[in-house]
Structure 1
C-alpha cells in the first residue's frame, strides 16, 4: 500500500468523551441516525475503549460532527466505526486525535462511510476480505490512512472459519501475498487441508506448523524458531492427555530433521523479525490474546510489515462480541514492546515462530 502524504488540513476544535451506550449525550442523539445508534449498542465495546470524538461549533455549545472511535488494547491505531454530522470535520478530528497520541494509523469501517468521503479525507480502500460467506464479521468495506510515510504492502485478508485453524490461515495468507498461492485458492478447503497436516490436536505448535508449510510448498525456505526443547501448548491438559501429544511433538521434530527444516533454539528477537520482513520474508508468530482480547489463549498471527515503532500484523480472528471486525484485524500495527510481551508465552516463557522465505 503506498504511503499517504500528510495533507494541509483545516484545524478543527474537538472534544473527546467516553461512549456510554445507555446514556448517549443529547448532542449525539441529534446527529446520529437511529440505525447508527442501534449498531453502536449491538456489541459490548467496553474492552476497546470506545469514545466519541466530537467537533464543537464556534461558541462551543453544540456539536456539529461526531465519530465513535475504538481500538484493540496495546495497538497503534484508532478505528472510526461511524462518523455523523459534518463528516469531513469528524474525520479531521479523529486524525488529529490519533496524531496527538503518536499512533501509526486510522481505520474507518464502511457501514456508512462513502468512498467519496473517505477518499477526500485521505483514506485508501482496503482489499475486500476473502473470508467465506457466513464466517465474516463486520462491514463489507473498510478504509485505512497511515500517519507516516512508510510503505506497507497489503496482503489479502482471510478470517479463520474455525476456532483452531489460525496457524494454517496465517501461512496461507503469507504464501498468497508472496505469489506462491493464487487468491482464488485461499479458501476453506485449503484452510482445513493445511491445518490437518499442521495440527498436533488441536493446536498447531511451531514445529508441526513449520513442517506442514515445507511439505505444502517445498520451494519456500522455512525456519522454525522455538527457544525450548520441551513440548509446548500442553499445560492446560491433564497428564494423561499431555503424554501422547508430547509424543506427536517429538515426532514433528524428527520430521523437521528429515525434511531439512532448521529449528533455531534461540528466542527470536523483534529486531530479527524486522530484518526478516526487510528481506521480503514472512513471520508467523505465536502470541497470547490476553493483551488484545482479554483472554490468555495461544494464537497465530502473520507479521508482514514494519512502520516506525510498530510491526504490522494480520490477525485471522476478530471478536464480534466486542465490536471487533476484520477491519481491526487487518493491517494491524502493534508497538514493538506490546508485541514482545504478547509473544512471550506461558509461566516458563518461550517464543514460537515460523519464518517463510522467498520461494527458490
Structure 2
C-alpha cells in the first residue's frame, strides 16, 4: 500500500486516491463514466491509489499525461489496474515499474476500458472470461513480471452461494486437470458436490476429501488435518454442534473405508509447492481475515507456483470493495502470507485436501445434466 506522501520515480507519480478529492490533473484525463465507476465503491481496504505519468513540468501541479487507478488485495503479490487513462502505454508502464519496485510478481488489468491491442502492446495476455459473473468486467488481462514465467490458467467459476466454496474449488481443480469438462461447471454441479460434502452449511476437510473421492473414484485424494476433533463448529450453539460433530465422525469412518488417508499434520508452504510441482492440486482452507478483513473460513485452490508466491483460485470476491473475479483469478499469494491465512481461528487449526495428478482416463460427471 502506498505511503500517504507522494512518491515519484522517473516521471512516475504515486498518490492515494480519495473519492471526494479527485485531482484536477486526473479530471482532465478521465471521462465522467470512468470517474463515476471509481467513486462508486470504497476501495480503501484494497490499498487504492493512483499511478500517474507527470508532464514536463513535474511535481504535484503538473498536468499528467497518463494515469491509472490501482488496487490489490492485502497480503498478496500483484497489482490490478482498474482503468488506464490518457497515454495508456505510459500509464501501464508506470504501474509495471511500480509493481517491480515493490517486488510483486504480477499485474492485472480489468477490461472496462482497456483495448485488447493496447494490452498486447504492453505485454499482457488475455484472461479467459469467468463461467459465472455478471458484476465484473467482461474481459481482463495479466502480465507476469518474471522473465519466461507462465502459469497454466484454470477456468474461473465464482461460487453462487455463501457456503459452497469447497465444492467449487474441487470442481475447478478437476476441470483444470482435464478430469471434468469445463462446460460441466454450473450451478447444478456446484450444489450436487456441495450436498455430498457439506457439514451444513460448510465443507470440512475430511467430508470434502471423501466427496471428491466418491465423485471421481480414480482420483488420488489425501486429507491433511492437524487436529483430531470436529472443526468449523465453534460458532454454533452446543445443541447444533453435536449432530454436525457426529457427521464428521462418520466422514472419518468413510475415509478409512474408501482409502482416503487423513494425515494428522499441517501442510506447510514447502509441501504445497512440492505438491503443485508434482502437478497435484491443493484445496486449502484459509481465513479471509487477511485478504478481506473478516474472519471467515474459506476454501481456495492452490494450483500454480512462481518465485515468491503460490497461485490460487478464489471462488469468492467482494463487489462492495471493488473486488472482482479479476482479483480472485490467478491470484499470487506470498508463501508467508498463505501460511498465516491457513491458520484457521479460533484455535488456528490447518486443513487441506490434495488431489493427485490427472488420471489416465477422464471420469464422467453428471452426464445426465447436460444443458441443465
TM-score by length of 2: 0.92
Residue 221 (structure 2) pairs with residue 222 (structure 1) = yes
**Ranges in structure 1 where 5+ consecutive residues have no aligned partner:** 1-10
Distance 1:41 1:320 in 2: 13
Contact 1:12 1:93 in 2 (8 A): no
Name 1:178's counterpart in structure 2.
177
Equivalent in the alignment of 1:26: 24
Q: Secondary structure at the match of 1:345?
A: coil
CA distance in 1, matches of 2:166, 2:42: 28
Q: Which runs of 5+ in 2 are unaligned?
A: 1-8, 361-372
Check conservation: 1:136, 1:159, Cα contact below 8 A: no
Q: Does 1:130 align with 2:128?
A: no
Structure 1 residue 12, shift from structure 2 partner: 5.3
1:145 equivalent in structure 2: 143
Shift of 1:287: 0.2
Q: How many residues align?
A: 347
Distance 1:64 1:270 in 2: 43
1:238 deviation in Å? 1.1
1:211 match: secondary structure: helix
Query: For residues 137 and 222 of structure 1, what CA distance do their matches in structure 2 show?
Result: 34
* Separation in structure 1 between the aligned mates of residue 135 and residue 253 of structure 2, nearest angstrom: 39
Q: What is the aligned partner in structure 1 of residue 157 from structure 2?
A: 158
Equivalent in the alignment of 1:97: 98
| Aligned equivalent of 1:3 | none
Q: Is 2:330 the partner of 1:331?
A: yes
SS at match of 2:295: coil
| Secondary structure of 1:175's aligned partner | helix
Residues 12 and 92, structure 1, Cα contact 8 Å, conserved in 2: no
Q: Distance in 2 between matches of 1:182 and 1:70?
A: 33
Query: In the TM superposition, what whole-angstrom CA distance separates every residue of 1:79-106 from its partner, at most 9, and x where no partner exists?
Result: 0000000000000000000000000000
When normalised by structure 1's length, the TM-score is: 0.95
Q: Tell me, yes or no, if the aligned pair for 1:137 and 1:318 is still in contact at 8 Å.
A: no
Query: Partners in 2 of 1:123 and 1:150 — Cα distance?
Result: 12
Aligned mates of 2:15, 2:150 — CA distance in 1:
33
For residues 44-89 of structure 1, what are the alpha-carbon distances to aligned partners after superposition, in whole Å with 9 as ceiling and x for unaligned?
1010011000100122122110000000000000000000000000
Partner of 1:234: 233
Tell me the distance in 2 between the aligned counterparts of 1:23 and 1:124: 34
Q: Secondary structure at the match of 2:300?
A: strand
Measure, in 2, the Cα distance between the counterparts of 1:267 and 1:183: 31
Look up the SS of the partner of 1:36 in the other structure: helix
1:194-244 CA deviation, whole Å, 9 max, x = no partner? 000010100000000000000000000000000001110011111111111
CA distance in 2, matches of 1:42, 1:302: 30
Deviation by residue 1:230-287 (Cα, 9 ceiling, x = unmatched): 1100111111111111011000001111111000001111101100001111000000
Runs of at least 4 residues off by over 3 Å: none
